[in-house]
Chains A and B, each alone.
Chain A
Amino acid sequence: MTESTVILALVVVTALGFDFTNGFHDTANAMATSIATNALRPKVAVALSGLLNLIGAFLSVEVALTVTNAVVKIQNSDGTPKESLTAGGGEALLIIVLAGLVGGIVWNLLTWLLGLPSSSSHALFGGLIGSSIAGLGWAGVNWNGNGSKLDGVVGKVILPAVMSPVIAGVIAAVGTWLIYRVVTGVAQRFTDNGFRWGQIGSASLVSLAHGTNDAQKTMGVITLALIATGDWTDTKSIPLWVKVACALAIALGTYLGGWRIIRTLGKGLVEIAPPQGMAAESASAAVILASSHLGFALSTTHVATGSILGSGVGKPGAQVRWRVAGRMVAAWLITLPAAAVVGAIMWFLGDLIGGLGGAILIFVLLLSAAGFMYWRSRKEPVGHHNVNDEWEGAPADERVPAVAGRAS
């Protein structure tokens, strides 16, 4: 077993680890509203979402090998790695990818610990941008594309991130407002059951779309690493085991459920009622599908958050916690640079020691960071048992029982 084979194994494991965090970070995008409105029991919701992510990941057979080309220059346009990086067993490329993945995972875990729904795609791209700058210099990043299409960091990452939450929010607000107009005066026994099914259907669609979109990013990264070491040569397809492993990793992550983020999205922003939940998820599903149809890359997290905010704006008399929203937007703004900084530091550390030792050092640092954040999270656990608790922490004895008095 050569040195680069061991590094390759570390890259594959780390990539699957990223895929896993991608899953549990994004469960909330599809299921936060259904859980908050009790349309689905929390455990059932995450199981359904996990299953649909699994199916979705297998549906994405389209080759996603050029996924890194949008932001960094480590691949040729046909998907093969740059020759300058594959000399000597591909170690140069593997270290860049490994450091970038570590940057993405660390940021995903930190935002999860804080309960902030930040974009997993931004974390991955940020990490790769950071490690590419460290390894190749500023010219290693595709900042603005070549002007022929929407491309580069600006076109594929920054502009969609600014626009997509606004678009989704407008659609959800319009939908919510009109739904409430339509059902005013209709007895609750009709609306409750109807919107329950509406929510489940629309949330399922979001889960399926998420599986197809996000799992293939990791598939592309792993296949790129395999090509770099010469363990795979075909640029038109992806090894079956990579597809199976990525699908399982994202589905398992989704099933585990990022409860802290589900709580923020479902309870923190807006007190969601079933009609709002349906409007929000429908808006998310429509925006995600319409965008990928038009080749307009975006983050499901930004879309889902925008939709939920919009459903709060559109419901007459609803309260939106803009402070929570502000915290989220701040997290979005720093996701890319923060993941980039971690990715760059990891690359420098790996390069300092060099070769296999450097790769192992990065990997151990990742494990200790992940272990620390997991340990921190256990001090104040959020799980399916308390995900729907009241957001404002008022003492229990001062509160008027909200449900007991209502006849329904």
Chain B
Amino acid sequence: MHNLGFALDGAWRVLVAGLALGAGLPILFALGIRSLAWADAGGAAPRPAGRALGYGLFAVVVLGVLLGITFIVATGFGKALSFDHIYPTIVPKH
């Protein structure tokens, strides 16, 4: 049953990474929408802080997506994304 062990080991990593990116980024996006709505809320003077926060959150989401695309492209060219230095770097695949 060694295969089951390898699969479970992979599964929890995918779950953690998936929760961080697949649920985390959409929630940031939703928070961004909420900030924009708050910035423009009901007739009163617009709130620039809400707008700034909203676009800031969208920027984080876009960065996350760009990371995803970089990953696809890098894998295609035989490279891998490394998170050894906290920020992602492209390294040769081994």
Which A residues lie at the B interface, using CB under 8 A? Answer: 56, 59-62, 144-145, 147, 149-152, 154-155, 159-160, 163-164, 167-168, 170-172, 174-175, 178-179, 182-183, 186-187, 190-191, 194-195, 198, 201-202, 205, 208-209, 212, 275, 278-279, 282-287, 289-296
Contacts and interface: CB of A to CB of B under 8 A. Distances in A.
Given A279-B23, A286-B21, A167 B14 contact: yes
A150 B22 contact: no
Interface in B46-64: none
B10 A194 contact: no
Given A201-B65, A212-B75, A287-B18, 16 more contacts: A163-B7, A170-B19, A171-B18, A186-B33, A190-B33, A191-B33, A198-B26, A208-B72, A279-B26, A282-B26, A285-B22, A286-B17, A286-B21, A289-B71, A291-B14, A296-B11
- The B interface is mostly helix, strand or loop, or mixed, namely helix
Contacts of B80: 293
Nearest to A198: B29
A167 B18 CA distance: 8
18 contacts: A59-B77, A60-B76, A61-B76, A150-B7, A150-B10, A151-B3, A159-B3, A163-B7, A171-B22, A175-B23, A183-B34, A186-B37, A202-B65, A278-B29, A279-B26, A285-B22, A293-B71, A294-B13
Interface string B19-35: 11111011101111110
A42 to B, nearest CB: 24
A191 to B, nearest CB: 6
Contact of A144 (B3, B18, B21): B3
B78 interface: yes
Interface residues of B, number: 41
A286 B18 CA distance: 5
Nearest to A275: B30
A154 B6 CA distance: 11
